[in-house]
Amino acid sequence: MKRIKMGCTTLSIPAMALGIMRMNQKSVPEAQVAIQAAYDAGINFIDSADIYGDGKSEEIFGQAFKQMQLKRENLFIQSKTGIVPGKRYDFSKEHILHSVDEILERMQLDYLDSLVLHRPDALMDPEEVAEAFDQLQAAGKVRFFGVSNFDTVQFKLLQSCLSQRLMFNQLQFSLKHTGMIDFGMHMNMLDEPSVDRDSQFLDYARLHKVTVQAWSPFQYGMFEGTFIDNDGFPKLNQELQKLADEYEVGKNAIAAAWILRHPANIQMLVGSMNPQHIKDSAKGAKIQLTRQEWYDLYLAAGNYLP
């Protein structure tokens, strides 16, 4: 598994992480198989969130991991908090502290390697967040911190009040969600791809050594479904299959390789619980697409160059 530097540190993390959003749909033995498949492929980074399966995903993970032979120190375990489903976003100190305690209990852990704030809270008080982070770190409950779906100004605002460096920003990025790179190639134009919806965060991350974590790497829309083997995207699947045949892997591996080919050292979140899909996706970390192959996929996904 390809390894990348985590944020501004010298610590090494895998270029892929296993997202456990769908683990609530699995039995404990099935969850163990998924975790082991990822670990055997070099994916020892786990990404969760307190809202996944209303907490059930973390409960299943906790039960599965406890029964496995894996050592805690050999896994990097991350969770997210801040969404109160259907009601509000909540970055209050009280909510953050309470959520972490509940996460640790569900996952049967003493500490999280990383805590990520899940989507921006319009009522965020950066100084209050800073107090929560300091308290969690001092108590040994969280080692590192990050955010999810923050734009550049939101990220800088929070960072200005923290004593810790933010390591991560989780952002949607895939062959069917390319806004973070479209606008740069359509600079100074009036067409739809020229609109910057992400406040140039990918370039900011490269300048300031922030690890971008790409979520939904095989999805189109937000949660509409996967573009892999989807009849609605014939040209893209034709190109994926062509390269998959050449590299002797599956389509997931090629779609993953496309994300990891970007020089920003992106970490990709694999959300599948299918051991075969996990193994195939992991193969993408070993593939270095040529520039032409990368652009051929970009164009096959329905994008165009000015």
pLDDT tens digits, one per residue of 127-177: 999 999 999 999 999 999 999 999 999 999 999 999 999 999 999 999 999
Interaxial angle between packed helices 234-247 and 251-260, expressed in degrees from 0 to 180 and rounded to the nearest 10 = 90
The CA distance from 230 to 222, in Å, is 15
Q: Examine residue 305 and state whether it is found in any structural domain, yes or no.
A: no
Residue 113 burial (10 A CB sphere; 0-12, 13-18, 19+): buried
How far from the centroid of its chain's Cα atoms is residue 118's Cα?
11
Average pLDDT over residues 38-53: 98
Q: Examine residue 145 and state whether it is found in any structural domain, yes or no.
A: yes
Q: What percent of the chain has pLDDT over 90?
A: 98
Give residue 223's pLDDT band: very low, low, confident or very high (50, 70, 90): confident
The reported pLDDT for the residue numbered 280 is: 96
Give residue 221's pLDDT band: very low, low, confident or very high (50, 70, 90): confident
- Residue 296 near residue 262, CB atoms below 8 Å: no
Average pLDDT over residues 34-62: 98
Is residue 3 predicted with pLDDT exceeding 90? yes
Q: Examine residue 1 and state whether it is found in any structural domain, yes or no.
A: no
pLDDT tens digits for range 233-247: 999 999 999 999 999
The CA distance from 198 to 235, in Å, is 27
254 closest CA partner among 232, 281, 236: 281
Q: Examine residue 5 and state whether it is found in any structural domain, yes or no.
A: no
Supply the pTM of this predicted model: 0.95
Average pLDDT over residues 186-198: 92
- Residue 10 near residue 42, CB atoms below 8 Å: no
The reported pLDDT for the residue numbered 9 is: 95
Q: Examine residue 2 and state whether it is found in any structural domain, yes or no.
A: no
Q: Examine residue 306 and state whether it is found in any structural domain, yes or no.
A: no
CATH code: domain of residue 252: 3.20.20.100
Is residue 264 predicted with pLDDT exceeding 90? yes
Is residue 224 predicted with pLDDT exceeding 90? no
The CA distance from 285 to 268, in Å, is 10
Number of domains present in the structure of the chain: 1
Is residue 52 predicted with pLDDT exceeding 90? yes
Give residue 222's pLDDT band: very low, low, confident or very high (50, 70, 90): confident
222 three-state secondary structure: coil
Give residue 191's pLDDT band: very low, low, confident or very high (50, 70, 90): very high
Taking all residues of the chain, what is their mean pLDDT, rounded to a whole number?
97
Domain that holds residue 44: 10-300
Q: Examine residue 87 and state whether it is found in any structural domain, yes or no.
A: yes
The reported pLDDT for the residue numbered 67 is: 96
Give residue 115's pLDDT band: very low, low, confident or very high (50, 70, 90): very high
